[in-house]
Amino acid sequence: MSNWTEITPLDQIPQLGSRVITTDTMEIAVFRTAADEVFAVKNACPHKAGPLSEGIVHGNAVTCPLHNWKIDLSSGEALGPDEGCTNTFPAKVDGGIVYVDLKNSSRAC
Amino acid sequence: MKERLVLVGNGMAGVRTLEELLKYDPEHYEITVFGAEPHPNYNRIMLSPVLAGEKTIDDIILNSREWYAENGITLHTGDAVVAIDRAARKLKAESGLEVEYDRLLLATGSNPFIIPVPGADKTGVLGFRDIADVDKMLEAAKQYKKAVVIGGGLLGLEAANGLMKNGMDVTIVHLMDILMERQLDHPAAEMLKASLEARGMKFLMQASTAEIVGADRVSGVKFADGSEVEADLVVMAVGIQPNIELAQQAGIHCERGIVVNDTMQTFDPRVYAVGECVQHRGVCYGLVAPLFEQGKVAANHLARIGIARYEGSVTSTKLKVTGIDLFSAGEFNEQEGDETLVLQDPAQGVYKKLVIRDNRIKGAVMYGDTMDGTWYFQLLREGTDIADFRSTILFGQHDVGDAGHGDTARVLSLSDDAEICGCNGVCKGEIVDAIQTKGLFTLDDVKAHTKAASSCGSCAGLVEALLANTVGEGYDAAPSKKAICACTEHSHEDIIKAIKEHELKDMRTVFDFLAWKTPDGCATCRPALNYYLLANWPADYQDDMQSRFINERAHGNIQKDGTYSVVPRMFGGLCTPSDLRAIADVVERYDVPEMKVTGGQRIDLFGIKKQDLPTVWKDLSDAGFVSGHAYGKAMRTVKTCAGKTWCRFGTQNSTGLGVKLEELTWGSWMPHKFKLAVSGCPRNCAEATIKDFGVVCVDSGYELHIGGNGGIKVRVTDLLCKVDTEEDVLEYCGAFTQLYREEAHYLERTAPWVERVSLGYIKSRILDDEAGRKALYERFKFGQKFSQIDPWKQRAEGAEAHEFMPLEVVSQ
Ligand code: SRM
Ligand SMILES: Cc1cc2nc3c(=O)[nH]c(=O)nc-3n(C[C@H](O)[C@H](O)[C@H](O)COP(=O)(O)OP(=O)(O)OC[C@H]3O[C@@H](n4cnc5c(N)ncnc54)[C@H](O)[C@@H]3O)c2cc1C
Ligand code: SF4
Ligand code: FES
Q: Where are the alpha helices (DSSP H) in B643-696?
A: 654-665
B142 touches chain A (CB under 8 A): no
Question: Would the CB of A69 count as within 6 Å of ligand 4?
Answer: yes
Q: Is A32 within the bounds of a domain?
A: yes
- The bound ligand whose nearest atom lies closest to the alpha carbon of B598 is 1
Question: Chain A within 8 Å of B547 (Cβ-Cβ)?
Answer: yes
C-alpha B458 – ligand 3 centre gap (Å): 14
* C-beta atoms of A56 and B527 within 8 A: yes
Q: Please answer whether residues B436 and B470 qualify as being in contact, where contact means their C-beta atoms are separated by less than 8 angstroms.
A: yes
Residues of B in contact with A73 (CB under 8 A): none
pLDDT value, residue B400: 45
**Residue nearest to ligand 1 atom 47, measured at CA:** B557
Among chain B residues, the shortest Cα distance to A13 is held by B802
Backbone angle region of B625, left / alpha / beta, with phi > 0 → left and psi within -120 to 50 → alpha: beta
- Give yes or no for a contact between B105 and B34, defined as CB atoms under 8 angstroms apart: no
- 3-class SS at B706? strand
CB B39 within 8 A of CB B131: yes
CA distances from B74 to A12, A94, B100, B416 (A): 50, 45, 13, 39
Residue A53, domain CATH: 2.102.10.10
Ligand that comes closest to the CA of residue B40: 2
- What are the backbone dihedrals phi and psi of residue B187, each rounded to the nearest 5 degrees, phi first? -60, -40
Q: Whose CA is nearest to atom 37 of ligand 2?
A: B108
**Cβ(B636) – ligand 1 distance below 6 Å:** yes
Is A62 within the bounds of a domain? yes
Chain A to chain B Cβ contacts (< 8 Å)? 91
Res B728: pLDDT? 97
B276 lines ligand 2 (CB under 6 A): yes
Mutate to test the pocket of ligand 1, among B598, B641, B678, B748 (most ligand atoms within 8 A of CB): B598
Residue B241 phi, psi dihedral angles, 5° rounding:
-125, 125
Taking the C-alpha atoms of residue B277 and residue B81, their distance in angstroms, rounded to an integer, is: 15
How many other CB atoms are there within 10 angstroms of residue B596's CB atom? Answer: 11
pLDDT digits (tens, 9 = 90+) for A85-109: 899 999 999 999 999 998 877 755 6
Q: Is B673 in the pocket of ligand 1 (CB under 6 A)?
A: yes
Say which of A22, A33, A103 has its CB closest to residue B806. Answer: A22
Asked if B590 and B626 count as a contact pair (C-beta separation under 8 A), the reply is no
Contact between A7 and B807 using a beta-carbon 8 Å cutoff: yes
Give domain status of residue A18, yes or no: yes
Cα distance between residue B709 and residue B403, in whole Å = 12
Residues in chain B: 812
CA angle B565, B566, B572 (to 5 degrees): 130
- Counting Cβ atoms within 10 Å, is residue B70 exposed (0-12), middle (13-18) or buried (19+)? exposed
Chain B hits for A35, Cβ within 8 Å: 519
Contact A21 B550 (CB under 8 A): no
- Number of domains, chain A: 1
Are B174 and B232 contacting, i.e. CB atoms less than 8 angstroms apart? no
Contact between A19 and B448 using a beta-carbon 8 Å cutoff: no
Nearest C-alpha in A relative to B807: A21
Looking only at the bridges linking them, the beta strands covering B209-214 and B103-106 are: unpaired
- For residue A109, being part of any structural domain is answered with no
Averaged over successive runs of 10 residues, the pLDDT of chain B (812 residues) comes to 95 94 92 97 90 88 92 96 96 97 98 94 95 96 96 93 94 94 88 91 95 94 94 95 96 96 96 97 89 92 90 78 80 87 86 92 88 80 85 71 46 73 80 84 83 74 80 55 85 94 94 92 95 95 93 92 94 96 96 95 95 93 94 96 93 96 97 97 96 96 96 91 96 98 96 92 96 97 93 86 76 50
For B709, phi then psi, to 5°, come to: -155, 130
Q: Is B710 in the pocket of ligand 1 (CB under 6 A)?
A: yes
Residues 6+ apart with CB under 8 A from B575: none
Task: Determine the atom of ligand 1 nearest the C-alpha atom of B599.
Answer: 6
Q: How many CB atoms lie within 10 A of CB B694?
A: 28
Coil, strand or helix at B328: strand
Q: How far is CA B350 from CA B390, B391, B395, B402, B478, in A?
A: 19, 18, 12, 21, 27
Using a CB-CB cut-off of 8 Å, the residues of chain A touching B506 are none
Range of the domain at A43: 4-101
CA pair distance B638, B688, nearest whole angstrom? 9
Show residues of chain A in contact with B562, CB under 8 Å.
50-51, 54
Largest CA-CA distance found in chain B, in angstroms, rounded: 102
CB contact under 8 A, B518 and A58: yes
CA B165 remoteness from chain centre = 34
How far is the C-alpha of B525 from the C-alpha of B536, rounded, in Å?
16
Q: Which residues in chain B are closer than 8 Å to A102, comparing Cβ atoms? A: 810, 812
Contacts of B650 (CB under 8 A, 6+ apart): B641, B642, B643, B644, B680, B681, B697
d(C-alpha B438, C-alpha B449), whole Å:
9
Q: Is B280 exposed, middle or buried (0-12, 13-18, 19+ CB in 10 A)?
A: buried
Q: Which residues contact B145 (CB under 8 A, 6 or more apart)?
A: B168, B169, B232
Dist CA B127 CA B237 (whole Å): 6
Residue A64: nearest ligand to its CA? 4
B662 touches B573 (CB < 8 A): no
Query: Of B372, B388, B392, B371, nearest to B380 (Cα)?
Result: B372
Residue A106 domain-assigned (yes or no): no
Q: What is the DSSP code string of B715-766?
A: BPPEEEEEESSHHHHHHHHHHHHHHHHHHSPTT--HHHHHHHH-HHHHHHHH
Gyration radius of chain B over CA positions: 31
Which of B449, B455, B523 is nearest residue A81 as measured by Cβ atoms?
B449
Interface residue B439 vs chain A (CB under 8 A): no
Task: Name the 3-class secondary structure at B564.
Answer: strand
Residue with CA closest to ligand 4 atom 3: A67
Closest Cα partner for A60 from A90, A99, A33, A88? Answer: A33
Looking at residue A78, the DSSP 8-state letter turns out to be B
Angle B722-B757-B540 from CA coordinates, rounded to 5°: 90
- Chain A contact probe: residue of B511, B548, B558, B802 with most A CBs at under 10 A: B802
A86 assigned to some structural domain:
yes
Query: Which amino acid belongs to residue A75?
Result: S
Does the beta carbon of B554 lie under 8 angstroms from any beta carbon of chain A? yes
Instruction: For B215-276, give the DSSP string.
Output: SSBEEEEEETTS-EEE-SEEEE-S-EEE--HHHHHTT--BSSSEEE-TTSB-SSTTEEE-ST
pLDDT for B268 equals: 96
Question: Comparing A32 with B469, which gets the higher pLDDT?
Answer: A32
Q: For ligand 4, is residue A47 a contact (CB within 6 Å)?
A: yes
Interchain proximity B545–A14, CB inside 8 Å: yes
Decide if B68 contacts B79 (C-beta within 8 A).
Answer: no
CA nearest ligand 2 atom 11, residue: B287
Q: Is residue A41 part of a domain?
A: yes
Is residue A68 a part of any domain in this protein?
yes
Residue B709 in contact with ligand 1 by CB distance below 6 A: yes
Class of residue B364 by CB neighbours under 10 A (exposed 0-12, middle 13-18, buried 19+): buried
The beta strands (E) that lie in B101-144 are given as 103-106, 110-112, 125-126
A80 backbone φψ class: left, alpha, beta (φ>0; ψ -120 to 50): left
Per the DSSP assignment, residues forming a β-bridge with B32 are: B6, B74
Buried/exposed code over B698-731 (b: 16+ C-beta within 10 A; e: otherwise): eeebbbbbbbbbbeebebebbebeebeebeebbb
Contact by Cβ (8 Å): B278, B242: yes
